[in-house]
Amino acid sequence: MNDEKQPIGVVGVGWVGLVTATCFAELGHRVIALDIDEEKVAALRRGEVTIHEPGLAELVASNSERLEFTTSMEDTLAGARLLFCCVDTPPTYSGDADLSRVRAVVQQLPQDSQHALVMKSTVPSGTGAAIRRDKPDLAYVSCPEFLREGTAVDDFLHPDRVVIGAGEGSEWAADAVEDLYRPLGGEIVRTDVASAEMIKLASNAFLATKISFINEIANVCESTGADVMEVARGMGLDQRIGPSFLRAGVGYGGSCFPKDVSALKQLAGNTGYHFQLLNAVIEVNELQKRRVIAKLERHLGSLVGKRIALLGLAFKPDTDDMREATSLVLSARLQGEGAVVTAYDPVAEGTATTLLPTVEMASSAAEALDGADAGVVVTEWQEFAELDWPALRERMATPLIVDGRNFLDAPTLRDAGFTYEGIGRPVTA
Ligand code: UDX
């Protein structure tokens, strides 16, 4: 069992690591959080949180007495028995997960039975077994994270379930991890390491499949006259289906879904299994990001010289994360068609300026829409629903809104004099 007074170690203070460390501190534990990035550690010691995650900076501040940030593995090992591994595992060119950072952590760990590595990073099935072959005395627990950006603190503190996978010799560590999570109330799933690893990948792949499925239904709705929002509502009431992740739109992005779907497909491929369904999920998502182009062309003809305003650039609201964001593909395609692209995002502007140097960044939605031939909602930021649409109509060259998230209220836009087109819904004008 984990001695309550013993600090918890967190290795890698990125988004997952900082949320994990801070939430454990919020639960009353002392935490030693390690990162190799000296600047990041120095900033965190000064109380500076640069990650945009609602509620996180406040929690870091209110728990500062229990949170220690360090660059020293020696100090971390001296203080903590449980080490939560939260380093990132980005995709490689082959689609496999890049495990070099995980390996670098494992290399520094001693060959003893006093410490346990608790894997939070998303790793392919078989990683735990390989680590245990290298370090047979070290206890190993797979405890995948299911945090969503934008609601990560709340997700951590109110989990649907906590998956804890461990093998022979690691039971003490799995019990200690269970003790840490039990007060949170989610169902605890105790299982073996390979299954825990697969639960994470399969969960994300399933959610991505749900999104690509509803996106294809939306595309069919466009030729049958049905409204995908009504279809999703009717489907979601069936308890076997459920209402979540049935929002049709311009595709999923972010740091997890694209990477995890590709990692699972690759994992299967490496064992000789062709995961057909995931190939389709990925392809549908890529095509979905481009569907707006044809919609714009239907209304505007050639896009050469047309001003198109992108509303929202982050891969979803309440984050400044633009990894695999639809806006990246869409802006490149629009520019490829000869359009002039302006854009506005309430928080992602800093990230976007580096990633999209040829896109004109506006400091408000109104400024982006000024003189535009069309506005495209790419991210459903709440403030877009609250805009003064009748006034904006006067500022635009053509009153056309393509709503890539089916987020705006169609009758409001129609009454304001817009041609409004969503994804999988009848066009209103
Ligand atoms: C996801 C998982 O939800 C989380 O459990 C995992 O740990 C990390 O990956 P996150 O990437 O933060 O979390 O975002 P999420 O809210 O799940 O949305 C992912 C993407 O799917 C976004 O681009 C979102 O716009 C899109 N999406 C989501 C849809 O297009 N339709 C939906 O119905 C739901």
- What is the model's pLDDT at position 3? 52
Q: Is the minimum distance from the CB of 321 to ligand 1 under 6 angstroms?
A: no
Q: What is the pLDDT along the chain (429 residues), one digit of tens a residue?
A: 445 578 999 999 999 999 999 999 999 999 999 999 999 999 999 999 988 899 999 999 999 999 999 999 999 999 999 999 999 988 888 878 899 999 999 999 998 889 999 999 988 888 999 999 999 999 999 999 999 998 999 999 999 999 999 999 999 999 999 999 999 999 999 999 999 999 999 999 999 999 999 999 999 999 999 999 999 999 999 999 999 999 999 999 998 999 999 999 999 999 999 999 999 999 999 999 999 999 999 999 999 999 999 999 999 998 889 999 999 999 999 999 999 999 999 999 988 999 999 999 999 999 999 999 999 999 999 999 999 999 999 999 999 999 999 999 999 999 999 999 999 999 988
- What does the pLDDT look like over 346-396, one tens digit per residue? 999 988 999 999 999 999 999 999 999 999 999 999 999 999 999 999 999
- What does the pLDDT look like over 226-284, one tens digit per residue? 999 999 999 999 999 999 999 999 999 998 999 999 999 999 999 999 999 999 999 99
Q: Is the minimum distance from the CB of 322 to ligand 1 under 6 angstroms?
A: no
Query: Which one is catalytic: 85, 143, 221, 256?
Result: 256
Helix (H) / strand (E) element for 163: namely strand 161-166
- Show the CA angle centred on residue 184, arms to residues 316 and 244, nearest 5°: 35
User: Whole-model pTM?
Assistant: 0.94
Helix (H) / strand (E) element for 208: namely helix 193-224
Q: Is the minimum distance from the CB of 12 to ligand 1 under 6 angstroms?
A: no
Q: Is the minimum distance from the CB of 253 to ligand 1 under 6 angstroms?
A: yes
Q: Is the minimum distance from the CB of 211 to ligand 1 under 6 angstroms?
A: yes
Q: Do residues 393 and 416 make contact, with C-beta atoms less than 8 angstroms apart?
A: yes
Report CA dihedral (145, 147, 153, 157) to the nearest 10 degrees.
Answer: -60
3-state SS class at 406:
coil
- What is the model's pLDDT at position 1? 47
Distance between Cα 247 and ligand 1 center (Å): 11
Q: In angstroms, what CA-CA distances link 164 with 10, 391, 422?
A: 17, 54, 41
Distance between Cα 17 and ligand 1 center (Å): 19
Distance between Cα 256 and ligand 1 center (Å): 8
Ligand 1 atom 14, closest CA: 148
Distance between Cα 328 and ligand 1 center (Å): 17
Give phi and psi for 150, each to the nearest 5: 95, -30
Ligand 1 atom 8, closest CA: 256
- Mean predicted lDDT score pLDDT of the chain: 95
Q: Do residues 117 and 106 make contact, with C-beta atoms less than 8 angstroms apart?
A: yes
Q: Is the minimum distance from the CB of 23 to ligand 1 under 6 angstroms?
A: no
Mutation to probe ligand 1, out of 143, 214, 257, 381 (largest number of atoms < 8 A from CB) = 257
* 256 is a catalytic site residue: yes
- What does the pLDDT look like over 251-266, one tens digit per residue? 999 989 999 999 999 9
